[in-house]
């Protein structure tokens, strides 16, 4: 939201409009590939004055193909892959009792916050890339090779709920992977400018092999989705004998889980950087002991991202959460473990640790942003529709 952009302590959120770059790519010889994040599909109808539509993701896929995209993939597939890999990373850390608590790293605003304000915890961040970057790496490094394409000929566009994802794609360790990030608002501008009535076009599935996702992967769009998916993987692979959840305060949930092998897990699921700051102080002082922490910087998670339509208040976020739950509910695959394309990928392309490097990264402490370093931009004027 505009408030967040003005006050984001990490300055990961800034307004930009990059549609012109997309139009240039579409009129070039590039192979244009798109990928759509879970949170985008449950909010874009607000911009287009449409009722909630559980087939919106597939309508977006059709619209993008009509606009000249060669392939359209689902970021929720990347989320399944990330959850699967992150669960394995966590179980290894838990077994060895090292680099705990493990922090999720799907939210670039949170990652930057840790790098700037808690450098001693940088190694606690999961090294698994975010779904945007993990799927982007697969497309540029594995898919391109299999299809006989030169990665330099691919122009990869991701549709995301926030501007922090633009910052993430531009981080030096992710250079050359995602070429352009467009927000939900930018996608809605593109749809309006096309004159196409998206409600009247037929929904068509995402392209294979990165078009299938489980309930877990799609749940990444809201708070608790990453942790819930990691738990799903542990449930399928180790077994769970006991689970307890408790709300500590608005935006902070605590979980205690006992695995069938006897290991116990304490977890915190947090949204909002103000909440994260409170909990981090306690973790840092040793007052609060946890093994795994999910943090999403935006209220209610990505459904409340800074690139989502206005108003972006708690009523709208709850409405998006409801649509996401309904969309998740019609998925037949429950857990990332059931995603056969993810399993095929592990068998064929990610079978050893060396191969899996492409979906991992590392973080390092970075300079804090002081207030005099931040340029507060004026809020964009609301468009009249
Ligand atoms: Fe972006 Fe917010 Fe999601 Fe973080 S929680 S990835 S800032 S939308």
Q: If you ran DSSP here, which 8-state letter would residue 318 be given?
A: H
Q: First CA to last CA across the chain, in angstroms?
A: 19
At CA 54, angle to CA 52 and CA 107, rounded to 5?
A: 90
For residue 165, the CA-to-ligand 1 centroid distance in Å is 8
The pLDDT assigned to 52 comes to: 87
Residues acting as catalytic residues: 86, 89, 106, 126, 165, 168, 173, 302
Q: Is the pLDDT of residue 379 over 80?
A: no
Query: What mean pLDDT is reported for the chain?
Result: 93
Atom of ligand 1 nearest to the CA of 301: 5
pLDDT at 17: 78
Beta carbon of 75 within 6 Å of any ligand 1 atom: no
Say what percent of the chain tops pLDDT 90.
Answer: 89
d(CA 59, CA 47): 15
| Site of tokens 């064929």 | 348
DSSP-derived secondary structure letter, 260:
T
**Which runs of E-coded beta strand occur in the chain?**
31-36, 71-74, 102-103, 154-160, 180-183, 240-249, 252-259, 264-271, 292-296
DSSP 201: S
| Confidence band for 380, pLDDT divided at 50, 70 and 90 | low
State the ipTM, two decimals.
0.99
* Three-state DSSP class for residue 198: helix
- Evaluate: CB of 164 within 6 angstroms of ligand 1: yes
pLDDT of 374 reads 52
pLDDT tens digits for range 181-193 = 999 999 999 999 9
Query: Which range is most confident: 51-55, 151-155, 366-370?
Result: 151-155
- Nearest in space to 106 (alpha carbons), one of 277, 335, 359, 378: 359
Q: State yes or no: pLDDT of 6 exceeds 90.
A: no
Whose Cα sits closest to atom 6 in ligand 1? 107
Name which of 63, 44, 24, 57 is nearest 196 in CA terms: 63
Distance 145 CA to ligand 1 centre (A): 31
Lowest mean pLDDT, pick from 226-240, 331-345, 369-383: 369-383
Domains of the chain listed by start with CATH number: 2-359 (3.40.50.1780)
Q: Are strands 252-259 and 264-271 parallel, antiparallel or unpaired?
A: antiparallel
Contacts of residue 353, Cβ cutoff 8 Å, sequence gap at least 6: none
Using the structure block, give the residue that is written with the tokens 């680099």: 99
For the ranges 4-18, 38-52, 66-80, 244-258, the lowest mean pLDDT is seen at: 4-18
Closest CA to 91 of 294, 261, 340, 329: 261
Number of residues in the chain: 385
d(CA 72, CA 70): 7
Residue 93 has pLDDT above 80, yes or no: yes
* Ligand 1 touching residue 302 (CB < 6 A): yes
Mind listing the pLDDT tens digit for each residue in 262-282? 999 999 999 999 999 999 999
Whether the predicted pLDDT of 384 surpasses 60: no
Is residue 329 within 8 A of residue 259, CB to CB? The reply is no
Q: Check whether 8 has a pLDDT greater than 80.
A: no
- Residue 331's nearest CA partner among 190, 220, 221, 219 is 219
Long-range contacts (CB closer than 8 Å, 24 or more residues apart) made by 96-101: 99/123, 99/124, 100/124, 100/291, 100/292, 101/268, 101/283, 101/290, 101/291, 101/292, 101/293
Contact 160, 305 (CB under 8 A): yes
Token pair belonging to 358? 């492409």
Q: Is the pLDDT of residue 10 over 70?
A: no
83/130 Cα distance (integer angstroms): 10
Q: Is 37 in the pocket of ligand 1 (CB under 6 A)?
A: no
Hey, which residues does 31 pair with through a beta bridge?
154
Q: In what order do the strands lie in the sheet with 240-249?
A: 102-103, 292-296, 264-271, 252-259, 240-249
CA 182–ligand 1 middle distance (angstroms) = 14
CB 41 within 8 A of CB 54: no
Write the pLDDT tens digit of every residue in 303-352: 999 999 999 999 999 999 999 999 999 999 999 999 999 999 999 999 99
- Please work out whether the CB of residue 225 comes within 6 Å of at least one atom of ligand 1: no
Closest Cα partner for 63 from 34, 24, 23, 95?
A: 34
Please indicate whether residue 279, judged by its CB atom, sits closer than 6 Å to ligand 1: no
Q: What is the pTM (predicted TM-score) of this model?
A: 0.92
Does the pLDDT value for residue 2 go beyond 50? no
Task: Pick the residue whose CA is nearest to atom 3 on ligand 1.
Answer: 302
Helices 19-26, 184-194: inter-axial angle, 10-degree rounding: 50
Residue 62 has pLDDT above 50, yes or no: yes
The pair of structure tokens assigned to 123 is 């190694």
CA distance 136 to 75: 9
Cβ atoms of 34 and 158 within 8 Å: the answer is: yes
Residue 124 C-alpha to ligand 1 middle, in angstroms?
A: 19
pLDDT for the residue 375: 55
Residue pLDDT, tens place only, 192-204? 999 999 999 999 9
pLDDT at 114 over 60: yes
């Amino acid at each position: 939201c505009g408030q967040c952009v003005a006050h984001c302590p990490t300055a990961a959120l800034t307004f930009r409009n990059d549609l012109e770059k997309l139009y240039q790519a579409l009129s070039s010889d590039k192979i244009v590939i798109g990928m759509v994040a879970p949170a985008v599909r449950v909010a874009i109808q607000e911009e287009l004055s449409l009722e909630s539509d559980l087939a919106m993701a597939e309508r977006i896929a059709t619209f993008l193909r009509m606009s000249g995209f060669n392939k359209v993939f689902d970021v929720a597939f990347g989320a399944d892959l990330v959850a699967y890999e992150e669960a394995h990373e966590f179980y290894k850390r838990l077994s060895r009792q090292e680099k705990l608590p493990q922090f999720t790293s799907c939210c670039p605003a949170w990652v930057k916050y840790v790098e700037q304000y808690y450098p001693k915890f940088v190694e606690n961040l999961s090294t698994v890339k975010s779904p945007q970057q993990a799927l982007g790496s697969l497309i540029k490094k594995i898919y391109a090779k299999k299809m006989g394409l030169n990665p330099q000929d691919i122009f990869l566009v991701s549709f995301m709920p926030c501007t922090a994802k633009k910052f993430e794609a531009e981080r030096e360790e992710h250079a050359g992977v995602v070429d352009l990030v467009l927000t939900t608002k930018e996608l809605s501008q593109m749809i309006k400018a096309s004159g196409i009535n998206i409600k009247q076009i037929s929904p068509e599935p995402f392209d294979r092999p990165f078009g299938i996702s489980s309930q877990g992967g799609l749940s990444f769009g809201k708070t608790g989705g990453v942790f819930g998916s990691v738990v799903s993987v542990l449930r399928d692979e180790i077994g769970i004998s006991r689970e307890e959840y408790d709300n500590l305060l608005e935006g902070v949930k605590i979980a205690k889980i006992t695995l069938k092998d006897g290991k116990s897990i304490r977890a915190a699921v947090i949204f909002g950087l103000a909440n994260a700051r409170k909990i981090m102080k306690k973790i840092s002082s040793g007052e609060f002991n946890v093994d795994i922490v999910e943090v999403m910087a935006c209220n209610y998670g990505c459904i409340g991202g800074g690139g989502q339509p206005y108003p972006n208040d708690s009523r709208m976020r709850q409405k998006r959460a409801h649509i996401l739950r309904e969309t998740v509910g019609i998925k037949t695959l429950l857990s990332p473990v059931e995603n056969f394309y993810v399993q095929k990928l592990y068998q064929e392309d990610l079978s050893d640790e060396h191969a899996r490097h492409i979906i991992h990264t590392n973080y390092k402490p970075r300079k804090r942003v002081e207030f005099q370093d931040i340029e507060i931009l004026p809020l964009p004027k609301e468009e009249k529709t």
